[in-house]
Amino acid sequence: MKNEPLREYLAFQFNSALQNSPKISYCADIEYLHKFRVAIRRSRSLLKLFQPNAYAFNAILKELAQKTNELRELDVFLDSLDPIAYPKLSKKIRKYRKKRFVEICNDTFNQTTIKKLRQLHDEIQVLSLPNKKKELIESTEKFYSEGLRAFHDLHKDTSNEALHELRIKFKTSRYALEFLHRCNLRNKRKDIEECKQIQDHLGEVQDTANQIDWLEHFCESNPCKECRQLIKERKAYLNLLKKYM
């Protein structure tokens, strides 16, 4: 794999996901799930950007990520929830989180995930990938520039769906910029920091919107007096975030 930085980088990501996958559980450090998902997202983003015809890879990576979407969203939500201000609701959500972890991260999930990641790691060795430095840099910079133009065209009435799509673009841009930087293909420290700030803001908007929707549904089947106040608080915060787009 000499002089094939993309192939080596993707193989490293699959190894990272493999190492963290067996450690995921409701009582484990939430960073194991986070690192697993980041490795999956990095791999999927880079393949979609540099090898969009790798449909089988994309399908498997998408499936692996989707299975843990709810778990990560619960972790993010609980991390943002003040247990002192919302003790009853916090307790209900933590109980629900444990239930979902046990249901999702079972032996079948672990065995299937490990098998698929090992398969991807083997198959990435023979997948056709670009390896020319100039091509990798130009593709990344073009994609990032398109995202910046779209971001500057945003306004407070932009739909949540459009914001979500743009957030995904900036995730892809950040992973691609980090790939260039970490593999010493080009110094992208400044672009990475700018991309991260935009991605974080878009992420906070999307996370808050998702949390409001999830909370409204959760509270229908898990009534709690604290629900109304938290929903009101999150809606006000979402409006504030959009105001400063």
197-229 per-position pLDDT tens digit: 999 999 999 999 999 999 999 999 999 999 999
117 and 9, same structural domain?
A: yes
pLDDT value of position 154: 85
The full length of the chain comes to 245
Domain check: are 159 and 115 in the same one?
A: no
Query: How far, in Å, CA of 232 to CA of 209, rounded?
Result: 12
Verify that 152 and 181 share a domain, yes or no.
Answer: yes
pLDDT at 15 over 50: yes
d(CA 234, CA 209) in angstroms, rounded, equals 8
For the chain, how far is it from start to end, CA to CA, in angstroms? 43
Residue 125 and residue 141 in one domain: no
Locate 85 and state its tokens: 């201000």
Q: Are residues 117 and 214 in the same domain?
A: no
CA separation, residue 167 to residues 133, 150, 161, 172, 200 (Å): 26, 11, 10, 9, 9
> What whole-number distance in Å separates Cα of residue 49 and Cα of residue 198?
19
- Say yes or no: 194 and 125 in one domain: no
pLDDT of residue 157: 77
Question: pLDDT band at residue 2, thresholds of 50, 70 and 90?
Answer: low
Which whole number is the average pLDDT over 53-78?
94
Is the residue at 212 inside a domain?
yes
Inside any domain, residue 77: no
Query: What amino acid occupies position 85?
Result: A
Per-position DSSP letters for the chain, written without gaps between them: -TT-HHHHHHHHHHHHHHHHGGG--TTS-HHHHHHHHHHHHHHHHHHHHH-TT-HHHHHHHHHHHHHTHHHHHHHHHHHHS-TTTSHHHHHHHHHHHHHHHHHHSSHHHHHHHHHHHHHHHHHTTTS-----HHHHHHHHHHHHHHHHHHHHT--TT--HHHHHHHHHHHHHHHHHHHHHHHTTSS--HHHHHHHHHHHHHHHHHHHHHHHHHHHHHHHHHS--THHHHHHHHHHHHHHHHHHT-
Residue 162's pLDDT band, with cuts at 50, 70 and 90, is confident
**The pLDDT of residue 53:** 94
Domain count, the chain: 2
* pLDDT tens-place string over residues 121-145: 999 999 999 999 999 999 999 999 9
Instruction: Please say if the pLDDT value at position 14 is more than 80.
Output: yes
161 found inside a domain: yes
Q: Compute the CA torsion angle 161, 162, 167, 169 (nearest 10 deg).
A: 120
**Model confidence at 1: pLDDT above 70:** no
Count the neighbouring beta carbons within 10 Å of the beta carbon of residue 63. 13
From 96, 131, 166, the end of a domain falls on 131
Residue 84 domain-assigned (yes or no): no
